[in-house]
Structure 1
Amino acid sequence: MKKVIFCAVALMMGAVGLAQTTPVAPSAPANAQALTPMAPAPATANMSHSIQNGNDNKVAVTQIGTSQGAYSDQDNGSGLGFNQARILQTGNVSASSGVANMAEVYQRGTGNQSTQAQYGDYNESLVRQGSSNNSSLGNRALAQQGNAAAQNGQGNQLQIDQDGNGNQARTQQRFDNNDALTDQDGDLHYADVWQRANPNGSDGHAAHIDQDGLGNDAWVRQDGLGERNEASSLQDGTGNYSWQEQYSTTTAGADPYANNALVAQGTNTGNAMTVVIDSDMNTNVDSYHVGINTTSNYNKAFQFQNGGNFNDVASFQRGTSNYSEQHQDGAGNEALVVQSFYDPSALTGLNYAKQTQDGDNNQAGIGQNGYLNRALQSQIGDGNKALSTQQGHDNDVNIHQRGDMNSATSAQRAACNDILIVQYDGQSASVEQNLTGGLGNNTANIYQSGPDGGGGAINCGFDPQLPMTPRNPIPVFNIPDVCPGC
């Protein structure tokens, strides 16, 4: 009897490539403060070093050329902060400009603002705000590498570190092979990363957001002609929100690479989670009980992938009352949601996982532990194959497959569980309930039909939940002054 659930889990984890290929975190840029020129300059100059103590300070640096360096340190002393720093390093890529620039801003205190813009290749940007100062809050950092007018903008590295509460970080990178890393400690932070292979539409970005605390938001958007994008968002705490989008306009078979997206909420790292799944769950599903992180509840994760030959999307949520939604439109597809690594003695669950795959190779897996969980899987056209496993009671599974090869496997442990499978076209379904014996009271309904249907779909519902997009702020700035009425 147990073999069905073992096979379901093994297939689910084997089918979803991300279980072995966690997105790569980008490299952090080196500190820009190793500046050299001084004396009567050259050694090809363009070096700026600025230190300001106190509050309400402003510094603006503009550099045009190549191998430039700008370092700004604003220390609020025992005051509040409200400092402003702006660094612009420019010059379209040519033999003598816009390459290998470095910029670093370090701000302590509250209400600080930093803007960095670098146009060209192989630039490095580092912003640090707060730095272990617990009273630090309300800081804003905006960093941009490459712009529409620049001739190029690849191989850039950008890192933003913020400590305290209520900080905001925005990263914008154009062209290809750029790395973005955002690290925020504290509560109510907002981070967004937009990497756009434009205007020449190439590929290969990496974005990583790491947030520790409560009520944080992480947004990643990667788009362009090609693939090879890596997005990972790690959030530890309660009430966090993650949104990831990856768009590729590559035509089928044109690019042998993949887009990977990972969200891990309430877990230490994505790798640790996948090790547990691969080694324990594939051999003995009961080993899946590995303890609960009770501080990681009420999280939401949204992941969208459009196009691309070899896509992987995975969401790991640990705790109760979490929500995960995944949408994949066209090409390779492959999706995995794992919710609630739980202690069987505790009342955990109330998680909801929703997966939608429209066209091409498909494959989707959901693993849930606890009580009152819901799993919704919808596949329209091409390869199909949906897998789900739930442990605990009063759980529901709804699998809808329309068109092409189908095949669904679902297994549940304990009592009072429900499974609905609706299949058109290829068909083939396997259901097993109450694997460990016990009270029973489970129900299963399987509807199978040819491609043209006949009896009509059976719908057991549970769709809504999507909303919660807003949060775009950041702007606010000021700087001018330099002389008027000093």
Structure 2
Amino acid sequence: MKKSHLLIAFALLASRVSAQSNSSTVVQAGHNNEAYVEQVGEQNTASQNQKGNLNQASILESGMSNTARQQQQGVSNTASIVMDLSNGATALQTQKGNNNLATADHDMTIGISEQRQTGNSNMATVHQQYGLATAYQEQIGNHNTASSDQAVLPGNEQISKQYQYGDYNEASITQGRFDQYALQLQNGNHNKASVNQYYDNNVSEQYQYGNYNEATVTQLYSGVNKALQVQQGNYNVATIDQDAAFNNTATQRQRGNRNQAEITQGYDNEATQTQEGNNNEARIGQGNDNEAWQRQIGNDNTAVTQQASHNSSTITQVGNGNSATVIQAIP
């Protein structure tokens, strides 16, 4: 059966509403667009606006006082919102371009998700469970991928923000249990950013400008940790491991090409790495209650700091081809 609309029409397409207090609006302009709405519960609102051809949009709302809105402009875009036994949840999806995919799954939440895609062949996914979660995704470019997975216990809040500008970038955030905050910003091409948080009150921010950079933060079974990564250039790699760790602060800043920075922390540590140049390598491993600073300016430098407990270390290298190693045991 041909499904085309040459004029804008307001209609309820493929809608099933189990309560009169629910509302659904569909606006279509173009050819062969498909819209589906199903609502179970009370005071749910759904809105779909499609302009172009071969677009698909679906909304399933179950619960009370949920809001879902989808806007599509272009060709062959796909948008899906599922709210399963949610109350007061909000999901917004905006697509401009071709062959974009956006999915938002709210499972027994009061969460908020907003997804914006401009370009072609981008993919954005949001999955929220239980308590208050907020997810924002913005992609401008082509072939970008962003995913946000949040499982928050009632009485807590998790925030996930992802911004990607360019082509073939990948961003992933996974959050679990109590309060968490993660932000990812990538401007360039072929960059990758990953954050994995589980337990309580972890904060992570990643900023990448350039091409083929990689940033990873792991905060599993951890609490009150802070991680900041900033990379400018190409082919840089930054890694922060705060696994089973508490009360740590880690900062990595790299400018140049093919630099590598790595920090691993236990309890009550502070670490900062700064590298400017090319092909530099910096590594810090900390046990408990340590402070470490590494700064390298130039090319092909190496700095290694290994600390057990209650130590402090500073390494500064300016020039090329330098190497420094500090090993500190329990005093």
State TM-score, norm by structure 2.
Answer: 0.48
From the two aligned structures, give the one with the greater strand fraction.
2
Larger radius of gyration: 1
Higher relative contact order (CA 8 A, sep 6+): 1
